[in-house]
Amino acid sequence: MKAALLFLVLAWTVLPQAPPQDNLVSPYIEPDRKVIFRIRAPKATDVFMYGDWMPLGSKQPLTKGGDGVWSVTVGPVDVGMYLYSFTVDGMTIADPINPRMKLRSRTSASIIEVSGEAPAFWQMRDVPHGSVDINWQKSKTINGETRPIWVYLPPAYEKNPGKRYPVLYLLHGSNDTAAGWVTAGNANLIIDNLIAEKKAMEMVVVMPYTHAVPFGSPREMQAKNTPLFEKYLLEDVMPYTESKYRIKKGSTNQALVGLSMGGGHSLHIGLSHLGLFHTVGVFSSAPGADFETKYADALDHAATTNNKLKQLWIGCGRQDTAFPRAKKLSESLNAHKIKHTFREIDGEHTYTVWRQFLYEVAPSLFR
């Protein structure tokens, strides 16, 4: 008995022990909305951070403490939900102790949410909430790939098995994933809050993965991304979701909205298939120099286009590098007498802008 006990004691001493719990906190939001960021990197020589509330390309250096923890206090930071990352000796990483992550097609970042006195339009409120399904579909159009499709269902969807709903196809941007509009865009919470306030119709929101060719592919492959995604959306995504969910058909029940690359997809598909979508939304995106040539048929027949496309909504942040081209797009549409909305606000190429635009567009859908 004593020998067995001695063996257990010896075995315990040689087994690898779990490291002591690290009680470091990052980020820490103070009552005045100043934020403390920390990272434990005792062997690092240079650490800085970037948050997307900061001017694009800026760097905020951190200071090293005697315990090997680097830290910085920034702000006060405006109420909002932001992405940030650290760069440690040249390697950019997410905050290793913040569980809220924003995954991308390549690399990742961390999420910080700075709240005000009352919940904002994009935050969790005490209202009925819908659900978000994650589907996996084997695509017939993209090399037999099994691809994710995220689908938001309104709060009353399960309670009304005989009811069908209009559908918003909501597209993410370059280097994002199908999860982006939920994990960083809070699209589900925005729609929940609008429905609860009776500002928006109940709707299904379909969020597919919009990289039809792998992110980072050579330029000649990237040129195929939009036409291939067009085929994928029309031949795979739409038939699949229409068969699985209670979705109304017909242009008055279908809207297509996207940000950045997804905005380019939306504009192309909307103008190439007039009458398929009641509303087309383009956030922080603009076409190339061949726009007027490529879409001459839609532009030169304004009456037909305006009749088939009931709402064309274009928005961009003034500090976004895409803003001059987005404004030029609006001017071109005006010159061809194509009815549309052009919305500009302060902001860069971030979900802060895109959440605001979704909040503004959603109430006008399916009215």
Q: Is the pLDDT of residue 20 over 80?
A: no
Domains 22-114 and 131-364 equal at CATH topology level: no
What pLDDT was estimated at residue 331? 96
Q: Dig out the tokens for 284 from the structure.
A: 């922080």
How many other CB atoms are found less than 10 A from the CB of residue 261?
A: 23
Max CA-CA distance within the chain? 95
Tell me the pLDDT band of 263, cut-offs 50, 70 and 90.
very high
pLDDT in tens, 60-85: 999 999 899 999 999 999 999 999 99
**So where are the chain's domains?**
22-114, 131-364
**What fold is seen in the domain 131-364?**
Rossmann fold (3.40.50)
Lowest mean pLDDT among 52-56, 70-74, 341-345: 52-56
Superfamily of domain covering 22-114? Immunoglobulins (2.60.40.10)
**Does residue 275 contact residue 269 with C-beta atoms inside 8 Å?**
no
The three-state (H, E, C) secondary structure of 26-89, written as one string: CCEECCCCCEEEEEECCCCCCEEEEECCCCCCCCEECEECCCCEEEEEECCCCCEEEEEEEEEC
User: Looking at this protein, which amino acid is placed at residue 69?
Assistant: V
| pTM for the structure as a whole | 0.92
pLDDT in tens, 266-318: 999 999 999 999 999 999 998 888 899 999 999 999 999 999 999 999 999 99
pLDDT in tens, 226-239: 999 999 999 999 99
Angle between helix axes 225-232 and 261-272 (nearest 10 degrees) is 60
